[in-house]
Amino acid sequence: MPDLAAPLIAWFRSNARDLPWRAPGFSAWGTLVSEFMLQQTPVNRVIPHLAAWLERWPTPTALAGDAPAAAVAQWANLGYPRRALWLHRAAVEIRDRHEGIVPRRVEDLLALTGIGDYTARAVAVFAYGDRHPVVDTNTRRVLARALEGRSQPGAPSKGDLATMAALLPEDQAEAAIVNAAAMELGAVVCTARAPRCEACPIAHACAWRAASYPDTGDGRRRQARYEGSDRQARGAILRALRHAPTHELPEEAVASDLADRAQRDRAIDSLVADGLIEASGGTLRLPR
DNA sequence: GATACGTGGCT
DNA sequence: TAGCCAAGTAT
Band (A20; pLDDT cuts 50, 70, 90): very high
DSSP string, A103-121: P-SHHHHHTSTT--HHHHH
**Could you give the domains of chain A?**
1-220 (1.10.340.30), 230-285 (1.10.10)
Alpha-carbon gap, residue A90 to A87, rounded angstroms: 5
CA separation for the pair A19, A114 (Å, rounded): 23
Protein footprint on strand C: which nucleotides are under 7 Å from a CB? 3-10
Q: Is A108 exposed, middle or buried (0-12, 13-18, 19+ CB in 10 A)?
A: middle
Rounded to 10 deg, the angle between the A261-274 and A230-243 helix axes is: 70
Contacts of residue A57, defined as CB under 8 A and 6 or more positions apart, other chains included, come to: A63, A66, A91
What percentage of chain A reaches a pLDDT higher than 70? Answer: 98
Of the candidates A85, A77, A26, A29, the residue with the CA atom closest to the CA atom of residue A57: A29
Residues A240 and A249 sit within 8 Å (Cβ to Cβ):
yes
Q: Is A148 a catalytic residue?
A: no
Residue type, A140: R
The amino acid at residue A150 is R
Name the helix (H) or strand (E) containing A279.
Answer: strand A278-280
Q: Helix, strand, or coil here: A52?
A: helix
What integer best gives the mean pLDDT of chain A? 95
- Model pLDDT for residues A186-227, shown as the tens digit of each residue: 999 999 999 999 999 999 999 999 999 999 877 677 888 999
Q: Report how far residue A34's alpha carbon sits from residue A165's, in angstroms, rounded to the nearest whole number.
A: 24
Q: Judge contact between A207 and A153, C-beta under 8 A.
A: no
Nucleic strand C within 7 A of Cβ A42: yes
Per 3-state DSSP, chain A is made up of helix, strand and coil in percentages (nearest 5) of 55, 5, 40
**Would the Cβ of A27 be found within 7 angstroms of any atom in strand C?**
no
Whose CA is nearest the C1' atom of nucleotide C7?
A38
- Count of alpha carbons within 13 angstroms of residue A206, beta-carbon side: 25
CA of A11 to C1' of C4 (A): 28
Q: Are A10 and A201 in contact (CB under 8 A)?
A: yes
Residue A26 pLDDT > 70, yes or no? yes
Cβ distance A150 to A208 under 8 Å?
yes
User: In which element (H, E) is residue A162 found?
Assistant: helix A158-167
Q: Say which residue, A222 or A15, is predicted with more confidence.
A: A15
For A236-264, what is each residue's pLDDT tens digit?
999 999 999 999 999 988 866 666 788 89
Give me the DSSP letters along A199-227. G-TTGGG-HHHHTT-----TTPPPPPP-T
Question: Does A1 have pLDDT greater than 70?
Answer: no
H or E element, residue A278: strand A278-280
With distances taken from each CA to the C1' atom of nucleotide C8, the closest residue turns out to be: A39
Per-residue pLDDT, A221 = 77
pLDDT score recorded for residue A260: 79
